[in-house]
Amino acid sequence: MDAFMQFIYSGLTVGAVYALVALGFTIIYNASDVVNFAQGEFVMLGGMITVFAFDAGLPLPLAAVIAIAITAGIGVALNKLAIEPARGAPVVSLIIITIGASILIRGASQIVFDKQLHRLPAFSGDDPIHVFGATLLPQSLWVIGGAFAIFIALWLFFTRTLLGKAVLATANNRLAAQLVGINTGFVMTLSFALSAAIGALAGVLVTPITLVSYDVGVGLALKGFAAAMLGGMGNPKGALVGGLLLGLFEALTAGYISSQYKEAVAFIVILAVLFVMPQGLFGAKKTERV
């Protein structure tokens, strides 16, 4: 039972990160119909920039804020320089562009930073907490709590604020949104900035546990995508549930089946979802109109 709870905790922790990556995917997908393969790089940047800023002497909270701001800026740049110019291009082109962007960001990080693994100190210490017979790192609570806080904040933003509703309207029908006076250019910028910031924050939260290096982005992007698909592409609630479920599947597989193949879980999930229920847990079935 203890081992089981242990797996649950680690599953929820890593699942929270996947949920945040999935949320980032969802926001950009809703805003622009693009699947941003560079999403994982935002997490990496959040971690890496914080590490280097912190190591340079800045207090941790300030380093984190700077990292999130810079990453948000990179997200906006990604939209302006790579995605907007290719508006309306076929899916193959957009896929290559965002993969190219992720490779570019990775390549730049390799030069600007380095290829080492880096860590951050835990926010509130390393003393493990004992709950239900297993140990939980305080940082895990930061990660899981942080994820929930972000989801709630975003839910409030989208449902209670005018700007949030404008974002939803743009996601639903860009032209109609423009016609009612919504500045869709700004909404796109905001969406990318938000998505990048969320990714960066996830990176800051999880680096004390999982460490960070220039190439952690790819794996995270793929798992975040799996989570988004599991929950239903474009559904924020689905992103949360999908992420946590994926994390749990992965941890339980690692614990009970094979730790080598735990990485395969995400891909098996992707394939299973695509074959059995392509619309995901919370997605709606669509009919193609001819």
Partner 1 sequence: MSGKNKWIQLGMLAVIMLVLPAFFPSGYYYRVGALIYVNALSVLGLVVLIGYAGQISLGHAGFAGIGAYSCALAPVHLGIHPALAVLLGAAVSGVMALLIGRPILRLKGYYLAVATLGFGILVTMVLSNERGLTGGPDGMPVPDLGLRPLLRDLGLRLSGGEFWYIANAVVLLIGAWIALNLFQSATGRAMRALHGSETAARTVGIDVARYKLQAFVISAVYASVAGSLLALQNGFITPDVAGFMHSVEMVTMAVLGGVGSVLGATLGAAILTLLPQVLTVFADYEQLVLGGVMILVMIFLPLGLLPSIAARIRWRGV
Question: Which residues here bind partner 1, judged by CB under 8 A?
Answer: 35, 81-82, 85-86, 89-97, 99-108, 110-111, 218, 222, 225, 229, 260-261, 263-264, 267-268, 270-271, 274-275, 278, 290
Query: Which residue's CB is nearer to partner 1, number 20 or number 35?
Result: 35
- The Cα 66–Cα 74 span in angstroms is 12
DSSP result, 170-226: HHH-HHHHHHTT--HHHHHHHHHHHHHHHHHHHHHHHHHHH-B-TT-HHHHHHHHHH
DSSP 136-164: E-HHHHHHHHHHHHHHHHHHHHHHHSHHH
Is the Cβ–Cβ distance between 252 and 9 less than 8 Å?
no
Q: How far is the CB of 45 from partner 1 (least distance, A)?
A: 14
Q: Which is nearer to partner 1, 69 or 95 (CB)?
A: 95
Q: What angle do CA 118, 250, 243 make, to 5 degrees?
A: 80
In the complex with partner 1, which residue's Cβ is closer, 105 or 198?
105
Burial of 14 (C-beta count, 10 Å sphere; 0-12/13-18/19+) = buried
Centre a 10 Å sphere on the Cβ of residue 127 and count the other Cβ atoms it contains.
9
Toward partner 1, which CB reaches closer, 100 or 133? 100
> Of 148 and 256, which CB lies nearer to partner 1 in the complex structure?
256
State in angstroms the smallest separation of the CB of 110 from partner 1: 6
Q: 6, 45, 1, 23: which is closest to 244 by C-alpha?
A: 23
Closest CB to partner 1 among residues 47, 283: 283
Q: How far is the CB of 22 from partner 1 (least distance, A)?
A: 13
Q: How far is the CB of 8 from partner 1 (least distance, A)?
A: 25
CB 17 to partner 1: min, Å? 19
Least distance in Å: CB of 113 to partner 1?
A: 12
Contact 93, 35 (CB under 8 A): no
